[in-house]
Amino acid sequence: MKPIYTAVSRLVKPLKHIATILTPGEDKSSKTAEWELSLLLEWVKQTYTLESDEIMVNNLLNFSRGFWKGLFTCYDHYYIPRTNNDLERFFRQTKASHRRITGLRSWNSYIIRNGEMIVLVSDALRQEHVISRLRSVSFSHYKSRKALWDKRLTNVILRKKFNRNTESYLSELEKRWDLLNC
């Protein structure tokens, strides 16, 4: 059992280092975390050169490469949940809030209608300087984003109209078509 334990503890060492590097800190930024992790991955490539280490090294490199782009975002934006547990807790709170507001158990139509805004608004209301951040947005930028939002809602409204009363929806479309072609 001792040789197996020694081998496993040797292979776990880089994972412990990665956990330490990715642990959030007050002074840690995305650049420092990214730099430290890239140095550690280079160290792993140079240190773990045995044939039995190849699977672990390749797996570690491929896994980190796959998540690299979004792995360090939480260090620069404090309001982004850092762990999967934090993220699940955030979604659970958002879903419970929707349930309290609407009384509905399912929030699928709510998500389709409001999309990512559910998360952004819910989180923004808990942030300290939300009013000053909102004031910094120019009116022209607000109008362009509002137009995109209205377009998105129009599609949802049309879909609901079609699903509720298909016959009247289609007859209304035919009337519009007749007006355009007269």
Span 1-26, pLDDT tens digits: 888 888 888 888 998 999 888 887 77
pLDDT of 40 above 90: yes
Mean pLDDT of the chain: 83
- Position 29 scores a pLDDT of 84
Q: Give, in order, the Cα–Cα distances in Å from 66 to each of 61, 69, 79.
A: 9, 8, 23
Buried b (16+ CB within 10 A) or exposed e, 72-98: bebbeeeeeeeeeeeeeebeeebbeeb
The pTM of this model reads 0.52
pLDDT of 75 above 80: no
Residue 40 phi, psi dihedral angles, 5° rounding = -65, -40
Question: DSSP for 48-105?
Answer: --SGGGHHHHHHHHHHHHHHHHHHTHHHH-TTS--SHHHHHHHHHHHHHHHHHHH--S
Question: Could you report the per-residue pLDDT of 110-146, keeping only the tens digit for each?
Answer: 777 777 677 677 667 777 788 888 888 899 999 998 8
pLDDT level of residue 157 (50, 70, 90 thresholds): confident
Q: Give, in order, the Cα–Cα distances in Å from 55 to each of 1, 48, 107.
A: 21, 10, 43
Angle of helix 117-124 relative to helix 84-102, nearest 10 degrees? 90
- Position 116 scores a pLDDT of 67
Question: DSSP for 138-161?
Answer: -HHHHHHHHHHHHHHHHHHHHHHH
Residue type at position 132: S
Rounded-to-integer distance, Cα 51 and Cα 54, Å: 5
Question: How is residue 127 annotated by DSSP?
Answer: S
Q: Please state the rounded mean pLDDT for residues 165-178.
A: 88
- Position 79 scores a pLDDT of 65
64: closest CA among 104, 26, 21?
21
- Position 78 scores a pLDDT of 67
